[in-house]
Amino acid sequence: MRERDENELPFAKLKRFLEPRAISRTVCEFCGVEIAPSHSHTVNLETRSLICVCRACYLLFLSNGAGGGKYKAVPERYIDLPEFVLTQDQWDQLQIPVGIAFFFFNSALRRTVVFYPGPAGATESLLALETWQELVGVNPILSTLNPDVEALLVRNIQRRQCCDRFIVPIDACYELVGRIRQTWKGFDGGEEAWTNIDAFFADLRMRSAQGKGPTPA
């Protein structure tokens, strides 16, 4: 397992969501117009970084291949997967120490990768191709994940009786990484960190219930 440098860039962008909103002015990184603290993102596929954008610029990159294929809009769908099948053996193979992980297809590496959040950032864990293929085989919805910009987010913590599976935008995963980095204390995180994590997943359930739209083409 190793920490990936590419995760520092998205975290830097998302720090602003965790700071007091009066500290700085947020602008679209394409056209410079001022945007709300809650705004859309695109991904720069070359640098693996998130880009804060206004709605008009966001819409320009909904189609695959827009911007010469360099940029891709982050979708806005949230799907709760209560019937998701993930065996304990499959989970144990991932060796995730915090019980939370997100999976997405990295087009640069041409494979699905898995990361777990922690006090040091997002760290990659080993994911055997066979394990991912097994998951897709019993959970066909995973085949609809939009490469680079959507992820399967799993929380599987037996001692806390937590079992959550969601399809989320990739920026949501990095927001969770940022929250954990800010509040994690000691070996087990501390109550503040886990309260923050619980609130984050409660928000995911609310967003899923609101029925966000389909993945952009």
DSSP string for residues in 56-82: HHHHHTSSTTGGGGTEEEPP---EE-T
Rounded distance between C-alpha atoms, residue 41 and residue 28, angstroms: 9
- 130 alpha-carbon distance from chain centroid: 22
Structure tokens at 163: 């079992």
pLDDT tens-digit map of 172-210 = 999 999 999 998 888 788 889 989 999 999 999 999 998
pLDDT tens-digit map of 62-121 = 877 777 789 999 999 999 999 999 988 888 888 888 889 999 999 989 999 999 998 888
What per-residue confidence (pLDDT) applies to 96?
84
164 φ/ψ angles, rounded to the nearest 5 degrees: -125, 140
User: Residue 181 carries which DSSP code?
Assistant: H
pLDDT tens-digit map of 44-69 = 998 889 999 999 999 999 877 777 78
Contact assessment for residue 4 and residue 122, using Cβ atoms and an 8 Å cutoff: yes
More confident residue, 69 or 217: 69
Where in the chain are the domains?
Answer: 2-73, 79-209
Supply the pTM of this predicted model: 0.84
What per-residue confidence (pLDDT) applies to 151?
97
Strands 162-169 and 121-125, sheet pairing: unpaired
